[in-house]
Each structure stands twice: as structure tokens, then as C-alpha cells.
Amino acid sequence: MKIFYVAGILAFGICISQTHRFYYDLKFKKDSTQIEPSKSLMILDINPDEIKFYDNAFLEKEAENEKTGSQNTSWTKQIPVTRKKNSDKNINYSMIEFQLYSYVTEDPIVWNLTNETKEYDKFRVQKATSNFGGRQWTAWFTKEIPFSEGPYKFKGLPGLIVQIQDSKEQYNFALVKNEKLEKTYDTKNILEIRYGNKPIPVTEKIYITKAKEYFNDPLHRIRESLRNGTTKSYDDSGIRYTNAEQLVPLIKDEQKYILKYNNPIEKNKAIKYQ
């Protein structure tokens, strides 16, 4: 693996409007029983006052929309988070059906630093371990990149986390490249608001309730619109449905999908569906 560095990356002084962007390859198992992991390229933006972690797919969609003049949206399995610098309080963004929600969590991480070191690309990295989110994690950080940050909610070490993996090898983040942006990158249109879809702020408890409600009655809005005649038909995978009862197989498939792919980074927060 080779990390590509922008010239002058070791000069880490942040000007008033700069963004230091780090790219992480994420290998993950959305189903804990799958053999080969899924892959995503994730973004860690370190701004002067706040931290943002999200899927690179958001940037790709934004670039595509700028070219076509459209406002097409997409969402990914990984929940984006933002937080103020030096804070354990994260804002989580998650989509249920067509609605975006945000909720705040307090996520302190207690690290056990070891004396074990190794080379990671150009850097000398040091090992640290932690129990977080119902998983045991091993992190490698470097003091040569003086940011006490890392992917997702992982932070608080005396240097940037360049690699972190859980003991079951279901989540593995590895730094692959970085760039320094002269201006703070504005993510409002792709993250905090999502093309005009402003998130509804709720508590984590209410978010879980909403997720369970959707699981118990998927496609509720579509079924109701077919029943009351607001919508005449609904198309899915090339098949047209004209009445609510025809959607029963789709509902069962959606519930099976949710149950199968219920293996989040924070395993102890996997929603217990009935």
C-alpha cells in the first residue's frame, strides 16, 4: 500500500480557512457472516473548528451533479458524523426511508497505549487499543501527523490514527492518501442538509423508535398512497404495482434485508428488531 502526500504535508499549521482531508479505505462486513468484505472510500475532513467524516460517494455524486446541473441524491450504509474539534459529542446522520435524521451521541474513548511500534509507509506508528461500541479495537497512530483525530468517532490519541481494526476483522480503516484544501470545504449541500432535505433533529432513542417503526411497516407511505389513490402505481425493479396488497413480497424482502445487514461499527448499538 502506498500513501500519496501533497507537497508540504508535514507542515501541518492550519490557516483560518483550511481543510486537511484524509482518505481511508474501509473494509467492512455489513453482514457479520459474509466471507469477503465490502469496501468504501471514506473521508475525514479536519477543519479549523470541526471534524467531518463521510463517504467519498457523496463527493462523487456532488461532482456529477455539478456537471449535469442536477440534484440527484444517494445514501450509503456508513453513518456520517460531525463534531466540534476536541469534543466527544458527535452528530450522527442517518436515513430512514426518504427522511434524513440527526441525533447527538457522547462518545468518549479510553485508550490503552502500548510501547509497540512499526513502520507504516513513511511513518513510525505506535499501537493503542480500546473497547468501544461493543468491539475490541487496535489502532496505529503517528505523532508525525499532529492531529488527535481518526476515522469515524475514533480520536484522542497523540497523533493521527492511520489504521484501526476490530478484533473480529469486521471493520478495518486504513489511511491511503490526503490532500490540503486552501479553503474549508462546504459540505452542507451533501451532508448536513442533503440537497434541500434538512434532517429532523431527534434523540438517539427516538431515532431507534423510528427505525423500528419502519421495520415493522416498510413502504407504509407508498401503500397508503396506493390505497387512497394519491399514487396510481409504483415501479420497482421493472415491475409495476397498482395496489397495496401487491407490495407484501417487497415488504418481506425489505425486512429480511434489514435483519441481514444489521452489523454497524458500534455493534452494541445494532437495533434489536422484533
**How buried is 108 (Cβ within 10 angstroms: 0-12 exposed, 13-18 middle, 19+ buried)?**
exposed
Phi, psi of 228 (to 5 degrees): -90, 0
- What is the C-alpha to C-alpha distance for residues 121 and 132, in angstroms, rounded to an integer? 27
The mean pLDDT value of the chain amounts to 89
| Predicted pLDDT at 10 | 47
Location of each CATH 2.50.20 domain in the chain: 19-192
Report how far apart, in Å, the C-alpha atoms of 114 and of each of 118, 139, 140 are.
12, 10, 10
DSSP class per residue in 138-171: EEEEETTS-----STT---SSSEEEEEEETTSSE
The residue that leads in pLDDT, 22 or 236, is 22
C-alpha cell belonging to residue 72: 440527484
Give residue-wise pLDDT tens across range 82-134.
999 999 999 999 999 888 999 999 999 999 999 999 999 889 999 999 999 99
pLDDT band at 12 (very low <50, low <70, confident <90, very high): low
| Predicted pLDDT at 16 | 55
C-alpha cell belonging to residue 253: 424482502
Helices (H), 18-141: 56-68
**How buried is 81 (Cβ within 10 angstroms: 0-12 exposed, 13-18 middle, 19+ buried)?**
buried
Classify residue 269 by its DSSP letter: G
| Predicted pLDDT at 69 | 65
Residue 170 has pLDDT above 60, yes or no: yes
Report how far apart, in Å, the C-alpha atoms of 223 and of each of 227, 231, 237, 244, 253 are.
6, 9, 17, 5, 15
Which CATH number is 19-192's, of 2.60.40, 2.50.20, 1.10.10, 2.40.128?
2.50.20
Give residue-wise pLDDT tens across range 30-86.
999 999 999 999 999 999 999 999 999 988 887 777 777 666 666 677 889 999 999
C-alpha cell belonging to residue 151: 476515522
Helices (H), 70-135: none
Query: How much is the average pLDDT of 198-221?
Result: 94
Range in 132-141, 163-172, 228-237 the model is least confident about: 228-237
Classify residue 189 by its DSSP letter: I
- Taking the chain, what is the end-to-end CA distance rounded to the nearest angstrom? 43
